[in-house]
């Protein structure tokens, strides 16, 4: 199951540095079901300590982690919605992503010119929000202009859907005209379903990545605090130092990276935090398959059933699903071996109604 996150931001905020650090050690292409990758797309592993622990107990020939894509959306400047800075091209790219990471400059540096001449993260955020809202407004207005014709259709289903959509589009139009993102509009589940085909950029979930100076990482930063207050949800705000992340990314071994992080006083790479938060923000979870051949992490959407999870591996698994042998990785960590798990009654046989849980280890039975 694919996941991609677009990285946006004004020029000179550190976006390219962060993207390069993210994609400096891409996953092995042979593990994944695609052949070519556009130059502005990087594939990264989703680090998961649970997979490492599973692999230490069930020693496999290889380990295959979950992955996600990051898309470097360049050229977003004031006027992007009108084509400034190749805006139309890059807005087209961002419309295709699942989530957005907005990199915001939270550091002063006279050697790095800010596009607006002054470092003000809230103004930067507003600039991007307005451009994305205006891009969405164009889509909404186009749909809006087609409604009168659809409402007059002799097909009652078509005319009924158009009439039902009208009040939602009116709300959206007014909201976007004010430069506000669609995600901040109080839309119910039916309204969101009705406008899903519009693929609005500002309805996508967004994480704010605060790029700070090396010596300010982990310290009180008024710019970061202002963003946290503006966003109102600390889980959607990440503080990282692009310079440190770029230095971590060129180190070859995990041991070297760990030593470097300890030296600069951080427990975990900020980019690993970003990857994990983007993953969970989209309601994505992980189940594992484990054996001597390989231990592999599979990405699924929260709320998926066992047959749907089996279909992620292969459509034949879902079509011919019989049962799933399931235990949780935490039980493996406690009992150390699968035979002891079985003795303790922790191995279950689940059917078609079973809802997958994050951290499940599963063997699917199927017949086609």
User: Residue 92: enclosing H or E segment and its boundaries?
Assistant: helix 87-94
pLDDT at 127: 87
By the 8 A CB rule, do 295 and 55 touch? yes
Please report whether residue 354 resides in a domain: yes
Please report whether residue 69 resides in a domain: no
Please report whether residue 352 resides in a domain: yes
> What residues contact 6, with CB distance under 8 A and at least 6 apart?
70, 71, 73, 93, 94, 97, 99, 100, 101
pLDDT at 109: 79
Please report whether residue 308 resides in a domain: yes
Tally of domains in the chain:
1
Please report whether residue 339 resides in a domain: yes
Q: Running along the chain, 368 residues long, what does each successive block of 10 average in pLDDT?
A: 78 83 58 41 88 96 91 62 49 81 88 72 90 89 89 87 90 92 91 91 93 89 94 90 91 90 90 87 93 96 96 96 97 96 96 97 94
Helix 222-231 vs helix 121-151: crossing angle, to nearest 10: 20
Q: Which two tokens stand for residue 51?
A: 């997979």
Please report whether residue 324 resides in a domain: yes
Write the DSSP symbol of residue 355.
B
Considering the entire predicted model, what is its pTM? 0.82
Please report whether residue 254 resides in a domain: no
> What residues contact 2, with CB distance under 8 A and at least 6 apart?
68, 69
Please report whether residue 147 resides in a domain: no
pLDDT at 320: 96
CATH number of the domain bearing residue 349? 3.10.20.30
Q: Which two tokens stand for residue 195?
A: 């406008």
Range of the domain at 344: 303-366
pLDDT at 35: 31
Distances 64 to 165, 296, 337, 347 between C-alpha atoms, Å: 44, 5, 20, 23
């Amino acid at each position: 199951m694919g996941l991609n996150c677009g990285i946006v931001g004004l020029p000179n905020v550190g976006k390219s540095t962060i993207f390069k650090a993210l994609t400096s050690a891409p996953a092995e292409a042979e593990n994944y079901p695609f052949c070519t990758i556009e130059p502005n797309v990087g594939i990264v592993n989703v680090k998961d300590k649970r997979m490492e622990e599973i692999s230490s107990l069930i020693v496999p020939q290889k380990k295959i982690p979950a992955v996600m894509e990051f898309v470097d959306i360049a050229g977003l400047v004031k006027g992007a919605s009108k084509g400034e800075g190749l805006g139309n091209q890059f807005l087209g790219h961002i419309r295709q992503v699942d989530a957005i990471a907005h990199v915001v400059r939270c550091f002063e540096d006279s050697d790095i010119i800010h596009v607006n001449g002054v470092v003000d993260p809230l103004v930067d955020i507003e600039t991007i929000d307005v451009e994305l809202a205006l891009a969405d407004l164009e889509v909404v207005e186009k749909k809006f202009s087609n409604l009168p014709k659809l409402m007059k259709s002799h097909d009652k289903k078509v005319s009924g859907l158009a009439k039902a959509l009208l009040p939602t589009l009116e709300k959206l139009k007014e909201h976007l005209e004010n430069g506000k993102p669609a995600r901040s509009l109080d839309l119910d589940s039916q309204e969101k379903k009705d406008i899903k085909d519009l693929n609005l950029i500002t309805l996508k979930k967004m994480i704010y990545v605060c790029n700070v100076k090396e010596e300010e990482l982990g310290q009180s930063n008024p710019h970061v605090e202002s963003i946290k207050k503006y966003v109102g949800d600390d889980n959607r705000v990440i503080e990282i130092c692009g310079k440190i992340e770029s230095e971590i990314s060129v180190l070859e071994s995990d041991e070297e990276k760990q030593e470097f992080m300890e030296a600069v006083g951080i427990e975990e790479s900020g980019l690993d935090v970003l990857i994990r938060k983007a993953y969970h923000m989209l309601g994505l979870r992980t189940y594992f398959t484990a054996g001597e051949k390989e231990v592999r992490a599979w990405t699924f959407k929260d709320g998926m059933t066992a047959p749907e999870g089996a279909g992620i591996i292969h459509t034949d698994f879902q079509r011919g699903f019989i049962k799933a042998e399931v235990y949780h990785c935490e039980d493996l960590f406690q009992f150390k071996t699968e035979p002891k798990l079985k003795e303790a009654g922790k191995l279950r046989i689940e059917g078609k109604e079973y809802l997958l849980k994050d951290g499940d280890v599963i063997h699917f039975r199927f017949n086609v």
